[in-house]
Amino acid sequence: MAKNIFQKVTFPTTPERLYNLYLSAKEHGAATGGDVRIEKKVGSAFKAFGGMLSGKILHLIPGRMIVQTWRSAKFYKSDPDSILILSFSKARGGAQLELSHLQVPNQDYVGVKTGWPAYYWKPWAQYLKKK
């Protein structure tokens, strides 16, 4: 049975900056250390970490929300794509990112849950300190 992941993290920046960081192939890749293909366009494909992650942009609210399909190389072919919702808002000390990652298959649940902080939140915090 698939599971859902919910995480909140605050960064010392603006919601718009976080939104743009995720949707810029250049910055997304620089922040995470992996090759990224992404566009600020509904319907565009998403690939990260050499194709280990993939999906498609479903909905965008500039500076506020990103909704996309998402799957990792550990999903079985029979597994449907999961849905990733990233919401950005102002918060004390900067900007809050709320992640809702829905319908993550059991075999990848722990990896995805621990992967967000390890491969995104910590590297983003370091990247934003430099900029």
**pLDDT digits 0-9 by tens, 93-130:** 999 999 999 999 999 999 999 999 999 999 999 999 98
Chain length of the chain:
131
CATH of the domain at 108: 3.30.530.20
- CA 127 to the chain's CA centroid: 15
Q: How confident is the model at residue 20 (pLDDT cuts 50, 70, 90)?
A: very high
108 Cβ contact partners less than 8 Å away, ≥ 6 residues apart: 72, 74, 75
Number of domains composing the chain: 1
- According to DSSP, residue 92 is labeled T
Q: For residue 34, is pLDDT > 90?
A: no
Query: What value does the mean pLDDT take over residues 16-28?
Result: 98
Domain that holds residue 65: 3-130
